[in-house]
Amino acid sequence: MKIMNLLMGCSILLFSCSKAIQSNPELAANKTTAKLEVVQTAATSATLTSSWDLIFSDEFNTTGGFDTAKWTYCPRWSPAWAKYLTASTDYVAQNGTDLVLKMDNAVIPGDPVPYHSGGIQTSTKFNFLYGKVEVRAKFKQGQGSWPAIWMMPEVPVAYGDWPNSGEIDIMEQVNYENSVHQTIHNGTVTNASGGSSATKATAYNTADYNIYGIIWNPEAIKFYVNNVLQYTYTRATNATSSQWPFDKPFYLILNQSGGAGWPGAINNADLPFNMNVDYIRVYKEIPVLGNPDFEAAALAPWAAWNPAGNTAIVTTNVRSGTKAIRQQGGETSLEQVVTGLSPNTTYVFGGYGKVSAAGQTAMFGVKNYGGPAVNAAVDDTNYKNSAVTFTTGPNNSSVTVYMYKPISGTAYGDDFYLNKL
């Protein structure tokens, strides 16, 4: 949807016009739980082990207008995608299961434009920096149609006028194309006519819903269709804002447009157009402990302090799998530094531990997060959960978690975890 479309159509053969996109990994969506495991197909990224925290969603399962706590109408203005936008529940409404964005040529007294269309956005209501987006949607094909799911910077000129402050097009489709477009815009990949060289067209299931998504982190933006990775746009080494303006918060846009710019004129016989959105979900990645159950081949990323045999992986006294950690002999500590935490955010660190005889004591704890060290005792001779909560400081994004045992006794640990509360 870019702004330039008002002025000219895109050169479709070489470049996808503005917003184009899609992607998205799917998730087991348990909205009541703070932590979600990512479930992806083996073809995409079987190694992805992060958990994800749902930070924004709309299931669109009511009737009538949209949730005004989350959305506002996209305003009508000059760019091609925005010239027929109409702030009316005739064009943006929920039907009990979906958000329905519509476009038609109905006559509205006092509004002389030949077409009307629907779009909503989260600007001023919700924006985010880094995370995962997934949108389940279907739309009708038609000459002149242009449905889109995309993102723009909350501060529109943080790095200058479009396209210098960036645009992330999760999904765009035009006309009767049997593919959807996923596209990046910035000052490096966008040409003078508004097309982008950072784009990928992917076949989709034209008869049904598809899931479009991105995973956006400081290193790259990955685009998915039906949970399959289609395209990756990577931050260049020593990137300037021209290549990577994607370090500022962006907001979400859902719209059914057409009749101008990229798709060209509408064939009125194809109207009405519509895009149905079943849901939109946004997740933030939660850092996870490495090797939390000691089943990896080596101890890393844990490190043992005063390790001279005092801390070791053992294959007896396990709680899960075939391995656990044992601390014996003199004073010893097992530690791991976890990065990527959010400042001013509360987390819980815990695990399962036991001691070899009554009266012995070890502890699980955290330090170096912006507050004083916090410990929880391990003093049962059977495996028992021990955990501590902590809140990161305003300038802290990491923590050191540990299992510590004083001079005497023997302690075991297994199945550690770190979650956001």
| Catalytic residue list | 167, 172
Under the binding rule (CB under 5 A), the answer on residue 233 touching Ca ion is: no
- CA neighbor of 78 nearest in space, from 3, 14, 28, 12: 3
How many CB atoms are located within 10 Å of the residue 359 CB?
A: 9
One of 15, 52, 56, 60 touching Ca ion (CB under 5 A) = 60
Minimum CB separation of residue 277 from Ca ion in Å reads: 8
The per-residue b/e assignment along 308-339, b for 16 or more CB within 10 angstroms, e otherwise, is: eebbebeeebbbeeebbbbbbbeebbbbbebe
Q: Of 279 and 404, which has the nearer Cβ to Ca ion?
A: 279
Verify binding: residue 412, Ca ion, rule CB under 5 A: no
Q: How far apart are CA 322 and CA 335, in angstroms?
A: 21
Distance between CA atoms of residues 362 and 352, nearest Å? 12
Least Å from the CB of residue 265 to Ca ion: 33
Residue in the block written with tokens 């699980």: 364
Give the shortest CB-224-to-Ca ion separation in angstroms.
19
CB closer to Ca ion out of 61 and 205:
61
Contact pick of 160, 321, 330, 393 for Ca ion (by CB under 5 A): 321
The one among 57, 88, 193, 320 contacting Ca ion by CB under 5 A: 320
Restricting to residues 246-275, name those near Ca ion by CB under 5 A.
Answer: none
Pick the stretch among 105-113, 118-126, 316-324, 388-396 that binds Ca ion (CB under 5 A): 316-324
Q: Which stretch binds Ca ion (CB under 5 A): 6-14, 224-232, 243-251, 322-330?
A: 322-330
The structure tokens listed for 79 are: 């760019």
Report d(CA 65, CA 324) in Å as an integer: 54
Q: Among candidates 175, 167, 139, 169, which has minimal Cα distance to 258?
A: 175
Quick note: the x/- pattern for Ca ion over 187-206, rule CB under 5 A, is: --------------------
Reduced to 3 states (helix: H, G, I; strand: E, B; else coil), residue 49 is coil
Instruction: Among 278, 342, 373, 406, indicate the residue that binds Ca ion (CB under 5 A).
Output: 278
SS3 content of the chain, % helix, strand, coil (to 5): 5, 45, 50
Of 72-131, binders to Ca ion (CB under 5 A) are 97
In single-letter form, the type of residue at position 352 comes to: Y
Size of the site for Ca ion (CB under 5 A): 12
Q: Among the candidate windows 54-62, 183-191, 244-252, 395-403, which touches Ca ion by CB under 5 A?
A: 54-62
Smallest separation, CB 60 to Ca ion (Å): 5
* Residue 293 near Ca ion by CB under 5 A: yes
Integer CA distances (angstroms), 346 to 92, 343, 390, in order: 38, 9, 5
d(CA 367, CA 375): 9
Alpha helices in 124-209 (DSSP H): none
Quick one: 11 or 63, whose CB is closer to Ca ion? 63
* CB of 174 vs Ca ion, minimal distance in Å: 25
Using the rule CB under 5 A, give the single segment among 124-132, 141-149, 247-255, 290-298 that binds Ca ion: 290-298
Distances from the Cα of 164 to the Cαs of 41, 216, 318, in angstroms? 34, 18, 55
- Please report how close the Cβ of residue 205 comes to Ca ion at its closest, in angstroms: 18
Q: How far is the CB of 59 from Ca ion (least distance, A)?
A: 4
Nearer to Ca ion, 122 or 165 (CB): 122
The number of angstroms, rounded, from the C-alpha of 369 to the middle of its chain's C-alpha atoms is 24
Among 35-43, 61-69, 115-123, 308-316, which window interacts with Ca ion (CB under 5 A)?
A: 61-69
Residues of the shown chain interacting with Ca ion in the complex, contacts defined by CB under 5 A: 59-61, 97, 278-279, 293-294, 320-321, 323, 414
